[in-house]
Chains A and B, each alone.
Chain A
Amino acid sequence: MHGRLKVRTTEEQQLLKRKEQQKKLIAYRMGMKQILDSRKPVNPDIYTLWNYRKEVALLEINSNINIEETEKLSNFLENELKLTEQCLLANPKSYSSWHHRYWILEHNPEANWKKEFDLCTKYLTMDDRNFHCWDFRRLVLNKVGITLGDEIKFSTDRININFSNYSSWHYRSTLKALTEECVEDELTIVKSALFTDPADSSAWFYLRWILSDPIVNTEHKEDLLDNLNQLLEIEPDCRWILIAKCWLIQDLHADKSNYVKEQIDCYRKLEEIDLLRKGHYSDKLNKLLSAN
């Protein structure tokens, strides 16, 4: 139960509300009783009701095995999909509804997976942070015969539309391993995000991941360090630039005292400008000071 704003009410309003709620509650109880005898969802999170629908669906599937009855079965399964659609529109985060949808599709020999795939694309353009939908897309990909590698274009499009979208960056990290051929492209896309809005966190996490890959060579890193120093001149108080600069110095110049001093200065500045994570920077600083 998240994000329900508490609105102040007078005692009279409360009494009225309580009366209404009592009426609703009686109706709910009667409904639940009826449903637990005959069973249909009223709240998409009531998992037992979804279980019952699956039991009924299994009965339908097993009793409609003749060719002439397939139409009846696909109508039945189509109605189940429509129901999950209604439930997901009401609550896009309902685990039970997403699972039921996939379960029904899997049990339908005639399932239109391509249509599901297009629906996913459409839904993700409306809410690109719904991880249920991303997970669903991955399940559907396997059915349509699309590989994760084929999703690079979709990922690039999503990121170009909105750099500040952690889910798209995450998705990109799962699509394929970094290779000699693509590393330049990855550095370019992440740099253009960082330079567009250095205060946005998403691309920095992606950068950290790329830098941990041995495929990114010294030359790439030296270039990036230069870029970050330029960016720092425009945005001297952006903590992300300072943090990333420390990663690069640690990788490239951990043995040079003038660079170590620069790293220490960065962490000292971070301690001052980012009080929330002071403990993190102090640990880094102490490690550097005791090693040098």
Chain B
Amino acid sequence: MSLYTKDITLSADSPKELLLEKHVEFITKYGKSEDDYEFGMTDYLRISGMYWGLTALELVDKLQTLPQAEVVLFIKKCQDEDTGGISACINHDPHLLHTLSAVQILCTYDQLDKINTDRVVDYVVSLQQPDGSFTELLLEKHVEFITKYGKSEDDYEFGMTDYLRISGMYWGLTALELVDKLQTLPQAEVVLFIKKCQDEDTGGISACINHDPHLLHTLSAVQILCTYDQLDKINTDRVVDYVVSLQQPDGSFTGDKWGEVDTRFSFCAVATLALLNRLDAIDVEKAVAFVESCKNFDGGFGSRPLSESHAGLIYCCLGFLSITNRLDIVNREALAWWLCERQLPSGGLNGRPEKLPDVCYSWWVLSSLTILGRLHWINASALKSFILACQDVETGGFSDRPGDIPDPYHTLFGLAALSLLGSNCIKPVNPTFCMPQHVIDRLKIKYQLL
């Protein structure tokens, strides 16, 4: 027999009989004393608490001591209109734990018809993950995080990031559309802001009013307008002119007129033109030749010829080749192997060998593997656990790693990665454009996947 070193001893004066009446009194009193500190402080588990008390009473045949009508009404009020789930208490968020407790109580009372059970079923269904598990994605918190981020003009973080505003808008807005909450943002204001950021001289779009135009923000602006179906609100011919003006004799693209060359800009250029249905405006063949010249010994791609492979740039190059229908130049097996080797024991993915995992690489690596038709080469449930662990349970939003400060950039890439892994509550995302699939379908944009 094994020896238990950690245990307690029963003292001689411990109760030896079952004190049924006292227990009934304890539970009945507990539910009544609304001003009690203990009771007041446990609203976050109220419905489950009711289930414990109520079931205990029924087991000793004293259920009638509780006010049935009140309990049922309370549960009814805790059903969430949006999701159908039931929360612990009025104004709290729905959760599967309290949904079960509520259904258990109503079964005991034979009062299931008092709530909308079809919606409860919808809620439970929405929580099942493709691997069969039920994990909790804090969708409502994320919506709140992003909506609040865009509104708080005086917020320190927001105020200090005007130099990347339009891309920031794209991250937040796309994240919201993926969870079907785009309407929480003021569309007309966003579109007007973008219109004001289009540069009269070049046709390019800047990060913010009074800043200079740049290809990164030009793509973000076009992506936003496609999602809103408002492309006619800017001068798209001038956008095409801007992109064309940035192509270099070797086929590469600079980010703006100051000459920085990078494969990120090759992707931005063809993605912008494809969304505007104007790929014909540039020399695609030369553009492809430049991207091909950035291919490395490991099958990956870097920012310029001979630059080290990096998952973010691999995504840009594969996205570029997906849009130009030239994935034939990829060394599929070597690259897919390099990409699946990015998964670490924590389940997270890094961007280069011997680096830390980061939620944004969940997107860069996963979209690349999807384009290559090798998504199944990594462990989806381990990655999902990593991404979910990067949620900020208090404010909503995702951070790069568990315990860090969340931001809209990682929130989009966390949600988009979960979408690629398959999720019932996030809309399908397009792996090439990182935009909702339905937008790409509506615009009839062509892209290649292996």
A interface residue numbers (CB < 8 A to B):
1-6, 18, 21-22, 24-25, 28-29, 32, 36, 43, 45-48, 50-51, 54, 95, 99, 103, 129, 131, 134-135, 138, 148, 164-167, 170-171, 173-174, 201-202, 205-206, 208-209, 212, 275-280, 283
6 further A-B contacts with Cβ under 8 Å, apart from A22-B156, A165-B354, are A21-B156, A22-B154, A43-B163, A47-B212, A48-B163, A205-B298
Q: Is the CB of A170 within 8 A of B156?
A: no
Q: Is the CB of B337 within 8 A of A24?
A: no
Complex Cα gap A29–B160 (Å): 8
Measured CB to CB, the closest approach of chain B to A257, in angstroms, equals 24
Measured CB to CB, the closest approach of chain B to A236, in angstroms, equals 19
Complex Cα gap A5–B163 (Å): 24
Pick from A32, A165, A174, A283: contact of B377, CB below 8 A. Answer: A283
Q: Is the CB of B154 within 8 A of A277?
A: no
A sample of 15 cross-chain residue pairs with beta-carbon separation below 8 angstroms, ordered by A number, consists of A2-B404, A28-B159, A43-B160, A47-B207, A48-B206, A95-B262, A148-B306, A166-B352, A166-B353, A167-B308, A171-B308, A205-B298, A276-B382, A277-B343, A279-B379
- Chain B residues within an 8 Å CB radius of A51: 212, 256, 258
Given A43-B160, A283-B377, is A131 in contact with B307 using a C-beta cutoff of 8 Å? yes
- Chain B residues within an 8 Å CB radius of A165: 354
Q: Is the CB of B392 within 8 A of A173?
A: no
Q: Which of B20-28, B65-73, B317-325, B395-403 contacts A (4 or more CB under 8 A)?
A: B395-403
- Chain A residues within an 8 Å CB radius of B337: 280
Given A164-B354, A166-B353, is A1 in contact with B405 using a C-beta cutoff of 8 Å? yes
Q: Does B86 contact A (CB under 8 A)?
A: no
Q: Is the interface of A mostly helix, strand, loop or mixed?
A: helix
Give residues 363-379 of B contacting A (CB, 8 Å).
374, 376-379
Q: Is the interface of B mostly helix, strand, loop or mixed?
A: loop
- Chain A residues within an 8 Å CB radius of B262: 95
Q: Which residue of A lies closest to B262 (CB)?
A: A95
Complex Cα gap A3–B356 (Å): 10
B interface residue numbers (CB < 8 A to A):
154-156, 159-160, 162-164, 206-207, 210-212, 214, 256, 258-260, 262, 296-298, 302-304, 306-310, 334, 336-338, 340-341, 343, 345, 347, 352-356, 358, 374, 376-379, 382, 392, 399-401, 403-405, 407, 409
Measured CB to CB, the closest approach of chain B to A95, in angstroms, equals 7
Pick from A6, A25, A208, A277: contact of B159, CB below 8 A. Answer: A25
Complex Cα gap A273–B176 (Å): 39
Measured CB to CB, the closest approach of chain B to A172, in angstroms, equals 9
Given A4-B405, A51-B212, A54-B258, is A209 in contact with B379 using a C-beta cutoff of 8 Å? no
Measured CB to CB, the closest approach of chain B to A170, in angstroms, equals 4
Complex Cα gap A170–B259 (Å): 26
Complex Cα gap A279–B403 (Å): 30
Q: Is the CB of B353 within 8 A of A29?
A: no
A-B contact count (CB 8 A): 146
Measured CB to CB, the closest approach of chain B to A87, in angstroms, equals 14
Q: Is the CB of B358 within 8 A of A170?
A: no
Question: Which of B296, B297, B403 has the most CB atoms of chain A within a 10 A radius of its CB?
Answer: B297
Q: Is the CB of B353 within 8 A of A25?
A: no
The 8 closest A-B pairs by CB, nearest first: A21-B156, A173-B297, A279-B376, A209-B297, A280-B377, A166-B353, A48-B211, A46-B163
- Chain A residues within an 8 Å CB radius of B353: 166, 201-202, 205
Q: Is the CB of B338 within 8 A of A103?
A: no
Q: Which residue of A lies closest to B382 (CB)?
A: A276
Given A129-B352, A170-B308, A170-B309, is A36 in contact with B210 using a C-beta cutoff of 8 Å? yes
Q: Is the CB of A275 within 8 A of B379?
A: yes
Complex Cα gap A36–B162 (Å): 12
Q: Is the CB of A131 within 8 A of B258?
A: no
Q: Is the CB of B156 within 8 A of A278?
A: no
Given A99-B258, A170-B297, is A6 in contact with B379 using a C-beta cutoff of 8 Å? no
Complex Cα gap A209–B333 (Å): 12
Pick from A48, A131, A279: contact of B212, CB below 8 A. Answer: A48
Q: Which residue of A lies closest to B380 (CB)?
A: A279
Measured CB to CB, the closest approach of chain B to A155, in angstroms, equals 13
Complex Cα gap A173–B206 (Å): 38
Q: Is the CB of A280 within 8 A of B352?
A: no
Measured CB to CB, the closest approach of chain A to B340, in angstroms, equals 5
Complex Cα gap A51–B212 (Å): 8
Complex Cα gap A148–B306 (Å): 11
Q: Is the CB of A1 within 8 A of B160?
A: no
Measured CB to CB, the closest approach of chain B to A113, in angstroms, equals 18
Pick from B160, B258, B405: contact of A103, CB below 8 A. Answer: B258
Pick from A134, A138, A278: contact of B379, CB below 8 A. Answer: A278
- Chain A residues within an 8 Å CB radius of B162: 32
Complex Cα gap A5–B399 (Å): 10
Q: Is the CB of B156 within 8 A of A24?
A: yes
Q: Is the CB of B308 within 8 A of A166?
A: yes
Pick from B154, B304, B392, B403: contact of A25, CB below 8 A. Answer: B154
Complex Cα gap A36–B374 (Å): 48
Q: Is the CB of A208 within 8 A of B258?
A: no
Given A21-B156, A202-B354, is A5 in contact with B297 using a C-beta cutoff of 8 Å? no
Question: Which of A48, A103, A279 has the most CB atoms of chain B within a 10 A radius of its CB?
Answer: A48
- Chain B residues within an 8 Å CB radius of A283: 376-377
Complex Cα gap A255–B79 (Å): 65
Q: Is the CB of B163 within 8 A of A103?
A: no
Measured CB to CB, the closest approach of chain B to A177, in angstroms, equals 11
Q: Is the CB of A206 within 8 A of B307?
A: no
- Chain A residues within an 8 Å CB radius of B206: 48
Complex Cα gap A150–B378 (Å): 39
